[in-house]
Amino acid sequence: MDDLIMAAIRRRLKTKPTDLGQPPRTGLIPAKIGDIASDEQHLRFRFPPLLKRMYADIGNGGFGPGYGLIGLTNGVPDDTGKTAVAIYDLFRSDPELAWPNGLLPICHWGCAIYSCVDCLDPDFGMRIFDPNGHDGDDWSDAFFEESLSFENWISSWASGVNLWDAMYGDDGHIARILSARRKEP
C-alpha cells in the first residue's frame, strides 16, 4: 500500500507541490536515516513508517498539504523558521498549553493552525491544533480530529482532496464545530 501512496504523492508533486501558493521547491533534499532515528530518540516516540519513508525518499519537508510538510532536523522549517521537532519541544515546554505527548506538528496551514500526527496512536491519527477559537484556560478546545490515520490523510491529499476545505470550507467539519460554539449562549 505504501508504494501506491508514494507513487500518488510523486504524481501530485508534479502539478502542485504545496496547497497554499508556495513556489515549487527544486531539489527536495531527503532526510538522512540517522537524523530521523536521532529525532525519534530525542522525542521518545516513533514516527509513522510512511512519514519516515516520505522524509527519507522524497524530501525532509517543503512539499505536501498546506504550506508543505515541516521538516525534521536539518529539514525545511515552517514560516517561523522552526522544524517539526523544535515546534514540538516548544509546545511541550509551555505548561499552560499542556501539549499532548506524542502529538507531532507536521503541517502548517497559517494563522498558527497545525496538522499533527499522534505518534502514540497505533493508527497514527491526525489532529488539528487551532488556537484561534480557543477560549478559557483549558486548551482542549483548540484540538480537533482530522483523520483516523496519517495514511488516510496523506492519501487523500495525494489523490487531490482539498484538506483545508474538508476542515474549514463551507461544509468542513471544524468550521461546523466552531460555528456551533459561536452560537452557544
pLDDT > 80? residue 133:
no
- Domain containing residue 138: CATH number: 3.40.1580.10
| Global confidence as pTM | 0.94
Q: pLDDT for 48-85, tens place per residue?
A: 999 999 999 999 999 999 999 999 999 999 989 999 99
What is the per-residue pLDDT across 88-114, written as a single tens digit (0 to 9) for each? 999 999 999 999 999 999 999 999 999
d(CA 114, CA 80): 13
- C-alpha–C-alpha distance, residues 7 and 1, integer Å: 10
Domain count, the chain: 1
Rounded to whole angstroms, the Cα distance separating 18 from 179 reads 28
Distance CA 88, CA 37 (A): 16
Q: Kindly provide the residue ranges of all beta strands, DSSP E only, lying in 27-148, ordered along the sequence.
A: 103-110, 113-118, 126-129, 143-147
Domain span holding position 160: 2-183
